[in-house]
Amino acid sequence: MFEDMKSIYLTIVLAPLIGSVIAGLFGRAIGRSGAHWVTIIGVGVSAILSLVAYKHIVFDGGEIFNGTIFTWLTTASYSFEIGFLIDHLSVSMMVVVSFVSWMIHIYTIGYMHDDPGYQRFFSYISLFTFAMLMLVMSNNFLQLFFGWEAVGLVSYLLIGFWFKRESAIFANLKAFLVNRVGDFGFLLGIAAVLMYFNTLDYAEVFRMAPDLAGTTVQIIDGQEWLLMTVICICLFIGAMGKSAQVPLHVWLPDSMEGPTPISALIHAATMVTAGIFMVARMSPLYEFSETALSFILVIGALTAFFMGLLGLVQNDIKRVIAYSTLSQLGYMTVALGASAYAAAIFHLVTHAFFKALLFLAAGSVIIAMHHEQDMRKMGGLYRYMPITWFTCLIGSLALIGFPLTSGFFSKDAIIEAVHHSTLPGANLAYWAVLSGVFVTALYSFRLFFLTFHGKERIDRETWSHLHESPGVVTVPLLVLAVPSLIIGGFLIGPMLFGDYFRDAIYVAPAHDVLGAIGEGYHGIWSFTLHAFQTPAVYLALAGVVTAWLLYIKFPQVPDIIARRFSLIHRILLNKYGFDDFNQAVFAGGTRGIGNLLWRIGDVRVIDGVLVNGTARAVRRVSAIMRQVQSGYLYDYAFAMIIGLLILLAVFVHQILF
């Protein structure tokens, strides 16, 4: 059985890779349909085998797999390996990744129908699936970093997929570089792990973690820091890049320049959750550093609340959803900080489904509107696109946490968990996520009403072609709507309060907020009833009502508010100035330093004074001595060599005799 499972796991990662390579290298030979068939079959195999693995591990209680595939390299006593750890955590991620990816492959047939880069696109998304699976299935930090950077690469390629657009190629470079800032921290974290644990293997590191919990290190003289704090914060900096947490969030809104299926797959459902997954995976380390946990709480809280606010002023339908993603990632991060890792993963799973659904619904709208993304030019679309309207409604309800939808359970669990947490920063985080609920409902239904209801603001040309999207688009929407609605109710019991993750996630008894909530948990109905005694549900409803009042009932009011509070409005439109700051200080600054070092350091000082100066000096001396000034470089060179030979002779003479 063990050997069999290993080949299944190998097939799960290799099938999408093979599909990707075939579609990428032989795209012209196999044609458009060849490319989508080969990749859809590849990812389909992955998805089905992931379900098999899921059943094996979760339902049948099968053996957890922790084994090496091959040795990457060995130097001295260090051995770096590529291997898999398939436990309850990774197998859940595998199902989400491969399943969502599969749906998006199918959807892409419709969305990218007329695109000349059709084969290339399929090759990229399959490659992404491979990289993401390698990331979640890894059993060591090295492979984690491989997957981590590889998903970043594919994200880069896909954001810049339409490489003729200046905005797209600006966005992809920005995304890659901001992620590299995160990876910079991540790599230092890995280096610290290797230094103190002498291995990069998860199981060994986690086993030794308690022994090293008290170790301190000095990075700045006189400052003793807990080793765990240093490692955890370094690793978390990586997560801040990948999972777009303030202040490394700036790349995610711009990443919407990529085609919509990518926004759904990479920039909502899977890749951006890699950071969340990573921290949950590292729970045996994070549990030993309250400083790191508090840091995570605060960063997550800031992201959850302030990024949600930005969603209120965006007019591009995809950008609203992008800010919503940022804010939801903030929720997950807050959960991690509160040691409610299971709640973070739970929200990750539900969010993957409903956010993919929302993006694909937005994509369906964008197809119908002939690639118009401005919501001010939409309105009343429910008449023309009933399936899109309906599925988008489900996605929005799940997003705002409407009772009994999947998002309700996962978000409420996070709010409750933070409420129970006693770590520094938990109080702030609680208020942030709670008020975030209102903001979420407001921007979600602002989007929903502006797009589907109210006055039709569509131009005549587009209007005449307006119709519901084809089956390859609507079927994935309907398929994703199902888990968006019901998966929360199914998973909450086992995942949060049961023994779902077994040993995959470790929580110190003092931090066990979910355990505390679990004592009062008696099934989903009582959980829902209990929720009506807390403010979150009412805040969500208030948000919807406010959206209705502002965008349906009194559509002139938003402009009045914007004018009245023009300062705040401007701050929000400028996204708190992060982009301007980065552009001026980091982009401009590095170029300034570069120019300074080059023009002054290299050209003026080293070449000007030292190199050519020496040549000039030699020339002058030789001119005096030999009364020759030919002006030919050869002569200066000759003079220089003569000079050196004299020096040499003196030197040799002194040493030898």
Among 3, 4, 114, 166, binds another protein (CB under 8 A): 166
CA-to-CA dists, residue 200 to 148, 194, 197, 240, 523, angstroms: 15, 6, 8, 21, 40
Binding to another protein (CB under 8 A) within 388-447 occurs at: none
Q: Kindly report the CA angle at 129 between 126 and 134, in degrees rounded to 5?
A: 130
Q: How far is the CB of 135 from another protein (least distance, A)?
A: 11
Binding segment (CB under 8 A) for another protein, from list 47-55, 157-165, 296-304, 380-388: 157-165
Q: Where does this chain touch another protein (CB under 8 A) — which range of 152-160, 337-345, 409-417, 443-451?
A: 152-160
Whose CA is closest to 468, among 389, 522, 525, 397? Answer: 389
193 vs 182: CA distance, rounded Å: 17
CB 339 within 8 A of CB 513: yes
Which of the stretches 31-39, 174-182, 318-326, 428-436 binds another protein when contact is defined by CB under 8 A?
A: 174-182
Q: Give CA–CA dist 655/498, Å, rounded.
A: 81
305-364 residues in contact with another protein (CB under 8 A) are none
DSSP strands (E only) in 23-153: 65-75, 78-86
Task: Output 562 or 642, the one with its CB closest to another protein.
Answer: 642
Of 376, 362, 321, the C-alpha closest to 559 is: 376
* Distance (Å) of CA 626 to CA 601, 616, 635: 34, 15, 11
CB 265 within 8 A of CB 154: no
Q: Between 17 and 338, whose beta carbon lies closer to another protein?
A: 17
The structure tokens listed for 90 are: 């990774």
CA-CA-CA-CA dihedral for 530, 533, 534, 537, to nearest 10: 80
Instruction: Check binding of 633 to another protein (CB under 8 A).
Output: yes
Nearer of residues 154 and 413 to another protein, judged by Cβ? 154
Closest CB 186 distance from another protein, rounded Å: 9
Q: Does 145 bind another protein (CB under 8 A)?
A: yes
Please name every residue paired with 68 in a beta bridge, in sequence order, or none if there are none.
83
CA distance 606 to 608: 6
Instruction: Tell which one of 29, 624, 625, 648 touches another protein (CB under 8 A).
Output: 648
In the set 103, 159, 190, 322, which binds another protein (CB under 8 A)?
190
- For 99, the enclosing helix (H) or strand (E) is helix 88-111
Q: Does 258 bind another protein (CB under 8 A)?
A: no
Tell the smallest beta-carbon distance from residue 585 to another protein (Å).
14
If one counts every other C-beta atom within 10 angstroms of the C-beta of residue 522, the result is 12
- Cα–Cα distances in angstroms (integers) from residue 499 to residues 61, 422, 427, 430, in the given order: 12, 23, 28, 26
Q: How many residues bind another protein (CB under 8 A)?
A: 63
460 contacts another protein (rule: CB under 8 A):
no
Please give the single-letter amino acid code of residue 545: V
Q: Taking the complex as a whole, how short is the minimal distance between the CB of residue 51 and another protein, in angstroms?
A: 28
Regarding 51 and contact with another protein (CB under 8 A), the answer is no
- Asked if 631 interacts with another protein (CB under 8 A), we say no
- Rank residues 24 and 454 by Cβ distance to another protein and give the closer one: 24
State yes or no: residue 655 binds another protein (CB under 8 A).
yes
Structure tokens given for 312: 């209120």
Q: What is the footprint of another protein within residues 588-617 (CB under 8 A)? A: 590-591, 593-595, 597-598, 601-602, 606-607, 610-611, 615
**Interaction site with another protein (CB under 8 A):** 70-78, 145-146, 149-150, 153, 156-157, 160, 163-164, 166, 169, 173, 176-177, 180-181, 183-184, 187-188, 190-192, 194-195, 217, 219, 590-591, 593-595, 597-598, 601-602, 606-607, 610-611, 615, 633-634, 637, 640-641, 644-645, 648, 651-652, 655-656
